[in-house]
A and B are shown apart, each in its own frame.
Chain A
């Protein structure tokens, strides 16, 4: 309770700010309507009218909440209008990209730690790769994939997600695999352990805390990548595509509802990674 109270206060403050902003931004429309019909709107009436417009500039929280509820539970999850359905499409892309990103990041980190030449030639480029805005590549990856004959959008989306999520894994794993100190490495040498055994029994276990710390960043990056992959070129499925549809048809409620669905998905994914981390730590005998 002691930890929750400040958070709840801040959240409540944000909701109040949101309501104020909604009244302020939507009032223009109300006054315009009134002027057109030649009537005066008193302040109280104006506030009431800003609360339930069809296409508000900024929908107040309860409207977004209602739309979100409708999208999540209003219909069967297989329906194209269901946010659960679109969320699952996005989740699939995220997990594929996350898996690819982890595999690539870990393998590259292993090579970089093992071979000095890899460290010197590849590591600077890995850093530079993250300063390239991936979104610039996203539309191209999608068109090229379709020309090469890859069906569907899953793979291109996963590549974009992997591009964003491999980097945190790479950086942490390089740090983690190098974390055993000289004493420990020397001890393994006195045992006559080969390079493989040193890796499996010392370096890999030592890198686990670093690995899990990076997963939380990587899963969030992967979700961003998937949504960006759904945004630009006319996708029809996924939360990013819902946002695009809302934007093109001038339906702000759809945009806000999918935005919050994406936020909920992000929260769930981070919590899930936390669970896996705790389970793994327990299994490895780390005191909680």
Chain B
């Protein structure tokens, strides 16, 4: 039981520290903004470890973080192989193809307000549908390897990006477009110099939503058939064997990959849309 009490004591002390930190002016600095959530996250791990050890929770229900860390350390090659299969071959190509297709379609229908008016509600509706349900069908079409995973990702990311892109292309103001017209700018010049930059905040909004959908799609598709590696495959087989430490190891990899992808998109967003109010602190 002592492990439990130590963990609870650490938790309370860290929480008190956080309360103290949050109340100080220093917490508004960049360092303070990073420090407080990191302390919180670390204490969650300590509390988890203490709970599992103190209450003797069976490892088939919840393994302690130390066991998960040990598992990650010993099975790096397997984790890397799964990561390469699911993320590098499934999610990222699918994400790029889907985003590219949405970009092209949005520009293709840009000249027809009629099509836009029709496509926006349909796209909005489809974006809300449980598209993951297409996964078994696409696995049937494209086989078990990464092509089918990429295909699921393409379908999943296409509509959120398309809807945001179409909305973004309408974001420039009348006055700005009139100004371009007075300068004698052609359609393409207006598009490249005014409307695409104005659409960027919307596009990145769609890309951010899509970045998490991409991982979901790639992993779900593996539940319906995959080669004998890949994150979704590993998770479903290890759950069947009650190897929960391996499952958690994969989840940790998935969380890191998801956060990294999201972070990368945010970074590019900051670089591209530096002029937007939300980026100027």
Q: Using a CB–CB distance below 8 Å, which chain A residues touch chain B?
A: 3, 5-11, 14, 25, 57, 116-117, 119-125, 128, 130-137, 139-140, 143-144, 147-148, 216-217, 220, 223-224, 227-228, 231-233, 239-240, 243-244, 246-247, 250, 252, 255-256, 258-259, 262-263, 266-267, 270
Q: Complex Cα distance A137/B18, Å?
A: 29
Besides A6-B118, A116-B23, A247-B224, 15 new A-B residue pairs in contact (Cβ under 8 A), listed by A number: A3-B117, A11-B122, A117-B36, A120-B33, A122-B37, A131-B261, A132-B258, A135-B216, A136-B219, A147-B61, A228-B130, A228-B220, A256-B137, A259-B134, A270-B125
Q: For the complex, is B121 an interface residue (Cβ under 8 Å from A)?
A: yes
Cβ B118 vs Cβ A227 within 8 A: no
Cβ B251 vs Cβ A137 within 8 A: yes
Q: For the complex, is B215 an interface residue (Cβ under 8 Å from A)?
A: yes
Q: Complex Cα distance A41/B135, Å?
A: 33
> Can you identify 6 A-B contacts, CB atoms within 8 angstroms?
A117-B19, A120-B32, A120-B36, A139-B223, A227-B133, A228-B216
Which residue of A120, A137, A252, A259 contacts B140 across the interface (Cβ within 8 Å)? A252
Residue of B nearest to A134 (CB): B216
Q: For the complex, is B262 an interface residue (Cβ under 8 Å from A)?
A: yes
For B136, B211, B232, the residue with the greatest tally of chain A CB atoms inside 10 Å of its CB is B136
Stretch of B175-183, B186-194, B198-206, B236-244 that contacts chain A: B236-244
Q: Using a CB–CB distance below 8 Å, which chain B residues touch chain A?
A: 15, 18-19, 21-23, 27, 32-33, 36-37, 39-41, 58, 60-62, 114-119, 121-122, 125, 128-130, 132-137, 139-141, 211-212, 215-216, 219-220, 223-224, 231-232, 235-236, 239, 242, 244, 247, 250-251, 254-255, 258-259, 261-262
| A255-B141 CB under 8 A given contacts A7-B121, A136-B219, A266-B130 | no
Which residue of A124, A140, A223, A266 contacts B244 across the interface (Cβ within 8 Å)? A140
Interface residue SS majority, chain A: helix
Please give, as numbers and ranges, the residues of chain B lying within 8 Å of A6 by CB-CB distance: 114-119
Cβ A233 vs Cβ B132 within 8 A: no
Cβ A121 vs Cβ B37 within 8 A: yes
The total of Cβ contacts below 8 Å across the A-B interface reads 168
Which residue of A11, A123, A136, A247 contacts B136 across the interface (Cβ within 8 Å)? A247
Please give, as numbers and ranges, the residues of chain A lying within 8 Å of B130 by CB-CB distance: 223-224, 227-228, 262-263, 266
| A7-B18 CB under 8 A given contacts A131-B212, A136-B219, A148-B61 | no
Distance in angstroms from A58 CB to nearest chain B CB is 8
| A232-B236 CB under 8 A given contacts A128-B259, A227-B132 | yes
Which residue of A120, A232, A266, A267 contacts B18 across the interface (Cβ within 8 Å)? A120
| A10-B61 CB under 8 A given contacts A134-B216, A143-B239, A231-B132 | no
Please give, as numbers and ranges, the residues of chain B lying within 8 Å of A266 by CB-CB distance: 128-130
